[in-house]
Amino acid sequence: MLEDKNTQKTSLAELGEFGLIKHITQYFKVENASTIKGVGDDAAVLDASEKQTLVTTDLLIEGVHFDLSYMPLKHLGYKAVMVNLSDVYAMNGVAEQITVSIAVSNRFPLEAIEELYAGIQLACETYSVDLVGGDTTSSTKGILISVTAIGKVEKDEVVYRDGAKETDLVVVSGDLGAAYLGLQVLEREKEVFKVDPNNQPDLDNYTYLIERQLKPEARKDIAGILKELDVKPTAMIDISDGLSSELFHICTQSKVGCKVYEDKLPLDPQVIATCEEFELDATMVALSGGEDYELLFTVPIAAFDQIKDNPNFSIIGHITAENQGLNLVTRAAQEIELKAQGWNGLKSE
User: What residue ranges bind Mg ion (CB under 5 A)?
Assistant: 135
Q: Is 135 in the site for ligand ADP (CB under 6 A)?
A: yes
Q: Closest distance between ligand ADP and the C-beta of residue 94, in Å?
A: 21
- Cα separation, 227 vs 253, whole angstroms: 24
Between CA 91 and CA 238 the distance in angstroms is 9
Pick 19 or 201: Cβ nearer ligand ADP: 19
Per CB under 6 A, does 41 bind ligand ADP? yes
Beta strands in 129-255 (DSSP E): 130-138, 143-153, 169-173, 235-238
Q: Closest approach of Cβ 64 to ligand ADP, in Å?
A: 20
User: Which DSSP symbol is given to 191?
Assistant: H
Among 126, 136, 167, 306, binds ligand ADP (CB under 6 A): 136
Angle (CA) 80-84-88 rounded to 5° is 160
Question: Applying CB under 6 A, which part among 36-44, 71-79, 276-284, 317-325 lies near ligand ADP?
Answer: 36-44
Q: Is residue 40 part of the contact set for ligand ADP (CB under 6 A)?
A: yes
Q: Are 148 and 90 in contact (CB under 8 A)?
A: no
Q: Provide the mask over 89-118, with x wherever binding to ligand ADP is found by CB under 6 A and - wherever it is not.
A: -----------xxx----------------
Answer for the pair 302, 233: CB distance below 8 angstroms, yes or no.
no
Task: List, edge to edge, every strand of the sheet that includes 143-153.
Answer: 52-61, 143-153, 94-104, 130-138
Question: Is residue 35 a contact point for ligand ADP (CB under 6 A)?
Answer: no
Q: Which of 134, 182, 242, 289 binds ligand ADP (CB under 6 A)?
A: 134
Residue 328 is a binding residue for ligand ADP (CB under 6 A): no
Q: Say which entry of ligand ADP, Mg ion, none residue 131 contacts (CB below 5 to 8 A, set by partner kind).
A: ligand ADP
* Cβ pair 79, 98 in contact under 8 A: no
Q: Which one of Mg ion, ligand ADP, none is in contact with 133 (Cβ closer than 5 to 8 A by kind)?
A: ligand ADP
Closest approach of ligand ADP to the CB of residue 56, in Å: 17
The pairing of beta strand 143-153 with beta strand 52-61:
antiparallel
**Residue 202, SS3 per DSSP:** coil
Q: Is 133 an interacting residue with respect to ligand ADP (CB under 6 A)?
A: yes
Residue by residue, DSSP assigns 206-231 as: GHHHHHHHHS----TTHHHHHHHTT-
Q: Tell me: does residue 295 bind ligand ADP (CB under 6 A).
A: no
Which residues contribute to the site for ligand ADP (CB under 6 A)?
A: 21, 25, 39-42, 100-102, 131, 133-136
